[in-house]
Chains A and B, each alone.
Chain A
Amino acid sequence: EVQLVESGGGVVQPGGSLRLSCAASRFTFSTYWMHWVRQAPGKGLVWVSRINSDGTTTNYADSVKGRFTISRDNVKNTLYLQMSSLRAEDTAVYYCARVSMLAVPGAFDYWGQGTLVTVSS
Chain B
Amino acid sequence: QPVLTQPASASASLGASVTLTCTLSSGYSIYEVDWYQQKPGKGPRFVMRVGTTGIVGSKGEGVPDRFSVLGSGLNRYLTIKNIQEEDESDYHCGADHGSGSNFVWVFGGGTKLTVL
**Residues in A lying within 8 Å of B, measured CB to CB:** 4, 35, 37, 43-47, 50, 59, 61, 95, 97, 100, 103-114
**Residues in B lying within 8 Å of A, measured CB to CB:** 34, 36, 38, 42-46, 48-49, 56-58, 60-61, 92, 94, 96, 101, 103-110
**A100 near B46: Cβ-Cβ < 8 Å:** yes
**B92 near A108: Cβ-Cβ < 8 Å:** no
In the complex, A113 Cα to B43 Cα: how many Å?
5
Find chain A residues with CB under 8 A from B61 CB.
109
B104: min CB distance to chain A, Å? 7
Q: Which 7 A-B pairs have the closest CB atoms?
A: A111-B43, A104-B57, A47-B105, A44-B110, A45-B107, A44-B109, A59-B103
| A107 touches which of B46, B101, B104, B107 (Cβ 8 Å) | B46
| A44 touches which of B42, B48, B108 (Cβ 8 Å) | B108
B8: min CB distance to chain A, Å? 10
A7: min CB distance to chain B, Å? 14
* A–B Cβ pairs within 8 angstroms, 14 of them: A37-B105, A44-B109, A45-B110, A46-B107, A47-B94, A59-B104, A97-B44, A100-B46, A104-B49, A107-B34, A107-B57, A108-B44, A109-B46, A112-B43
**A47 near B34: Cβ-Cβ < 8 Å:** no
**A45 near B103: Cβ-Cβ < 8 Å:** no
Find chain B residues with CB under 8 A from A100 CB.
46
B33: min CB distance to chain A, Å? 10
| A61 touches which of B34, B42, B104, B109 (Cβ 8 Å) | B104
In the complex, A43 Cα to B108 Cα: how many Å?
10
In the complex, A107 Cα to B47 Cα: how many Å?
10
Find chain A residues with CB under 8 A from B110 CB.
44-45
**A103 near B58: Cβ-Cβ < 8 Å:** yes
In the complex, A47 Cα to B105 Cα: how many Å?
6
